[in-house]
Chain A
Amino acid sequence: MMELLEYETLHIINKNPGNTQIYADCIQNLLEGDAVLLIEAAVYASCDKTMALYFPKYIPLYTLKADVDARGISQRMSDEYSSIDDDEFVKLCCLYRKSISWF
């Protein structure tokens, strides 16, 4: 087992939660130290009650604020998610060692 770092992989999803295989592929490959960012249509997953159960508790979950606001779902977003703006999106990409797009 290699050394565990704090900020490893940022997993980015951009498809709505109906694309279950994409979410399964991403979730199966999450390890401690990783985070998930939902952008574009994927922000709908943040108000999908069944979806929150599948993400491991130790994984930080983020949504992109512009996409959340554009879809008017900020009130319905589950508590597990933090909304970030575009500047924070860039910071997050720099903070993590690499990012993977599950598109």
Chain B
Amino acid sequence: MHYNTLLIFRNGPFENNKNRDCLDIALACSAFDIPISLLFIGDAVLQLTRDLESQIIAQKNIANTLRALEMYDIDKIYVSAADLSRFNLDESSLIVSCNILEQADIALLIRRQDKVINL
């Protein structure tokens, strides 16, 4: 039996390697047919925005991997509505299609999981 697993992204782009590590975990879970969902809260919502030009600061960009998630059957991507509005963002600012959740629904999303990985 496979556990429903949620990965929580909490870090801003280029802050550290944790968002990339989370994505690697997501791809690994997909390879083993583990049902995986991704949740972006706090500064991590910025990771989903267009126009990140990582080469200017000699960093790697995970945008292409994010766009490829659909090919790995990872389509359950959730984003905090409060954090999007905090940064003046909306659905059209994001590079992948996401489910935008209010805070109460985020708590319920977490409760529904069997495992939660929080980097």
Q: Which residues of A pack against B, CB within 8 Å?
A: 1-2, 8-9, 21, 25, 28-31, 98, 100-103
Contact = CB atoms under 8 A, between A and B. Distances in A.
B118 A100 contact: yes
Given A25-B42, A28-B103, A100 B10 contact: no
A30 B41 CA distance: 15
Residue among A8, A9, A98 with most chain B CB within 10 A: A98
Contacts of B10: 21, 25
A25 B115 CA distance: 17
B118 A29 contact: no
Interface of B: 10, 41-42, 103, 106-108, 110-116, 118-119
A2 B111 contact: yes
Contacts of B119: 103
12 contacts: A1-B108, A9-B116, A21-B10, A21-B42, A25-B41, A28-B107, A29-B106, A29-B107, A30-B107, A98-B114, A100-B110, A101-B118
Given A28-B103, A29-B106, A103 B42 contact: no
Contacts, number: 34
Contacts of A103: 118-119
Contact of B107 (A31, A98, A101, A102): A31
A29 B107 CA distance: 4
Contact of A9 (B41, B42, B111): B111
Contacts of B114: 98
A54 to B, nearest CB: 14
A61 B95 CA distance: 39
Nearest to A102: B118
Residue among A8, A9, A29 with most chain B CB within 10 A: A29
A31 B108 contact: yes
Given A21-B42, A25-B10, A100 B107 contact: no
Nearest to A103: B118
